[in-house]
Amino acid sequence: MSEKMAFKGRWVLVTGASAGLGEAMARQLAQQGAHLILVARRLERLQSLQAELQQKHGVQCRVIAADLARPDDVERVFLEGIQQPVYGVILNAGVTHFGWHRDLEWTAFENLLATNLTSVVRLVTLFVPYLIEQRQHGGILLVSSMAGLFPVPYQSAYAGTKAFVAQFGQSLYQELRGQPVSITTFCPGGIATEMTTGSKLDYFSDTPLLQSAEDCARDALRAFAQRKYLPVPGLLNRLQVFGARLLPRKWLGMIAERAYRKALQ
């Protein structure tokens, strides 16, 4: 579908909206005049953002406090979300584990898997038929990661879930060609958010490897509006993707392992 998306006056649902990339995208959508359905676990953060965006930009905002690791909450997000005529869906919520995989407790892995992967598949499964039926020519933005394109030692489980999302989104893009809905799979590199600040990943904070949440959000929304296939934001990230085509994947893993091992120490 070639028609560009326009968010002004339309309802857009954003998961992981209480901080980081999700919050940045919500703010920029409000600046464009979009009405928002803000989804995250922290109700107070959502309500504060809701009040700010409504007052500052004159848009409507609804909040849904939900833990996307819980199947019942995932179903509720859909049912409460479609009380408004949803035009766009941004599935951004995610968690990570940085460290030895052997140190990842099984319950924490199940939470990571449910949040990053299962909830995404379920919400896509629910929203695609809905958006087709609405015939607003809307779309879904899946936030994957460059970690889903390359091997990432010490973030093995996270990288695995993001690889699934990347392949899932690319495949659906082709399946849905000709339908009044689009799938964009966004693959950012490192972003300066709560996920990195105060963690061992903060090791990369003074390097060009971390993009600001605001810049990344701008790239994400531009790609979403243009219905891009597999956009990677940032010149340095795109150069890495291009350069990676010239190297064996085993070498890519070795390079990443050396870089991330330094952050662990």
Which positions are annotated as active-site residues? Answer: 158, 162
Residues 6+ apart with CB under 8 A from 259: none
The length of the chain, given as a count of residues: 265
Quick one: tokens of 76? 């509720």
Burial of 32 (0-12, 13-18, 19+ CB in 10 A): middle
Distance between CA atoms of 144 and 163, rounded to whole angstroms? 7
Distance between CA atoms of 164 and 116, rounded to whole angstroms? 9
Distance between CA atoms of 180 and 45, rounded to whole angstroms? 34
